[in-house]
Amino acid sequence: MRNPALPTSDDHRTDLSGRVAIITGAGQGIGRVYAHRFAEAGASVVIAELNAESGQNVCTEIVAKGHQALAVSSDVTSAASVQSMIDKSMTAFGRIDILVNNAAIYSRMTRATFDELPLEEWDAVMRTNVTGSFLCARGVAPIMRKAGWGRIINVSSGTVTMGRPNFMHYVTSKAAIIGMTRAMARELGPFGINVNTIVPGLTKTEIEADGATDAVWNTILDRQCIKRPGVADDIADVALYLASSASGFITGQSIAVDGGATHL
Ligand SMILES: NC(=O)c1ccc[n+]([C@@H]2O[C@H](COP(=O)([O-])OP(=O)(O)OC[C@H]3O[C@@H](n4cnc5c(N)ncnc54)[C@H](O)[C@@H]3O)[C@@H](O)[C@H]2O)c1
């Protein structure tokens, strides 16, 4: 007879068949690659994106490959919009197993020395990057708790370890994510819900982020052990692992995916 303390081989696969994953901010960049990767692994994916057009485009790409996807125009800063996104996901797919809190003010953020940062910019970054992650996690937690299984993946940044200048609002918001993950993991672990943070280093996507100049890239590449630019697929590989049963005994962790630029 199987010892229930031991996982079956099924528990140790990165197959997401039958799972439903919400990925916020999946209309472009790394989020778009998460959506493709999870769909290829068998999940039905919800693209919860502020930009309705880009979200729909990603959804169309995924459906064209024969996978299941739903685009929901959503604003993670609004509790009502988040609840409506969750309701639409449940109506379409009947369950929510995975949440990736990827949406953030990042590639088009205002940069300024911290004492010249407008309060409105500070508030907007905190509201999207921190409060948005809280609202989405709060919305899915009861559904995952009831199912006795869930994965919440939060997204921080290597800038927290390095403390890049002229980004203090962003760096502060991404530091908060690490604490949020640890607190959430303690509360949700008993219900089979694992909560972890991915900490991407500077990552190339189809969007050229403001401020990611050649000089910045050279500094980052100097720090990396692996001497090539990080790409969205590098981050999606780790997200897939964290979204799956393979990561069943890992929670509350921050995992840097940055070619060894930082060692947490
Ligand atoms: N690319 C990098 O170098 C890098 C490095 C470290 C961390 N990250 C983090 O990874 C994540 C993805 O990065 P990216 O490069 O793809 O960013 P990006 O700026 O290209 O994409 C962010 C997406 O979030 C969406 N979004 C913004 N506000 C939203 C809201 N209120 N509601 C719903 N969606 C909203 C945007 O429309 C956009 O599609 C972010 O959390 C970012 O902070 C990126």
- Domain containing 36 equals 16-257
Report pLDDT for 6: 58
| 177 CA from centroid of ligand 1 (Å) | 14
Atom of ligand 1 nearest to the CA of 77: 31
Q: What count of other Cβ atoms lies within 10 Å of the Cβ of residue 55?
A: 28
Distance between CA 17 and CA 35 in Å, rounded?
A: 14
Give the pairing type, strands 20-24 and 44-49: parallel
142, part of any domain: yes
Distance between CA 59 and CA 27 in Å, rounded?
A: 8
Edge-to-edge, what's the strand order for the sheet holding 20-24?
69-73, 44-49, 20-24, 98-101, 150-155, 193-200, 254-257
Q: What CATH number is attached to the domain comprising 130?
A: 3.40.50.720
Report pLDDT for 164: 85
**pLDDT digits 0-9 by tens, 87-108:** 999 999 999 999 999 999 999 9
Atom of ligand 1 nearest to the CA of 106: 19
Report pLDDT for 210: 85
Residue with tokens 């309705």: 52
9, part of any domain: no
221, part of any domain: yes
112, part of any domain: yes
Report pLDDT for 7: 55
- Domain total of the chain: 1
DSSP string, 12-55: G----TT-EEEEETTTSHHHHHHHHHHHHTT-EEEEEESSHHHH
263, part of any domain: no
**pLDDT digits 0-9 by tens, 210-224:** 888 999 999 999 999
7, part of any domain: no
| Residue segments in the chain with a per-residue pLDDT below the cut of 50 | none
Report pLDDT for 110: 86
Q: What is the pTM of this model?
A: 0.96
Atom of ligand 1 nearest to the CA of 232: 1
Distance between CA 264 and CA 256 in Å, rounded?
A: 7
159, part of any domain: yes
Out of 34, 106, 170, 241, which one is annotated catalytic?
A: 170
For residue 51, the one-letter residue type is N
| 66 CA from centroid of ligand 1 (Å) | 26
Distance between CA 146 and CA 82 in Å, rounded?
A: 19
216, part of any domain: yes
- The verdict on the CB of residue 203 being under 6 Å from ligand 1 is yes
